[in-house]
Amino acid sequence: GENVEQHPSTLSVQEGDSAVIKCTYSDSASNYFPWYKQELGKRPQLIIDIRSNVGEKKDQRIAVTLNKTAKHFSLHITETQPEDSAVYFCAALETSYDKVIFGPGTSLSVIP
């Protein structure tokens, strides 16, 4: 089955700097890769996603890149702000079984 790894597990950046979180997946048939932001006590919130027919997608300060050959995808947050502090999860949709499997998460702290 699908296995998603995520690095780093914790990340601290100064306000205004960029943050990069990287994920790898194991099932080459996976074709949908969402990223979620989760604040304490709240549900995961979809912030951006990418599908396998696209290499890069951008939404304001957030971008995601996908390398299907290497089976990895990354989240890039530019001009970070304190409100970006949260836990971020990557995930992959295992198409054979319709399962969305999460990476272990990255705790991002943006220091004012």
Contact positions toward other proteins, by CB under 8 A? Answer: 32, 34, 42-46, 49, 51, 87, 89, 91, 93, 97-105
**Shortest Å, Cβ 88 to other proteins:** 11
Given the complex with other proteins, which of 27 and 34 has the nearer CB atom?
34
**Shortest Å, Cβ 55 to other proteins:** 17
Residue 81 makes CB contacts below 8 A (sequence gap 6+) with: 15, 110
> Could you tell me the sign of the dihedral formed by the alpha carbons of 33, 5, 86, 8, in that order?
negative
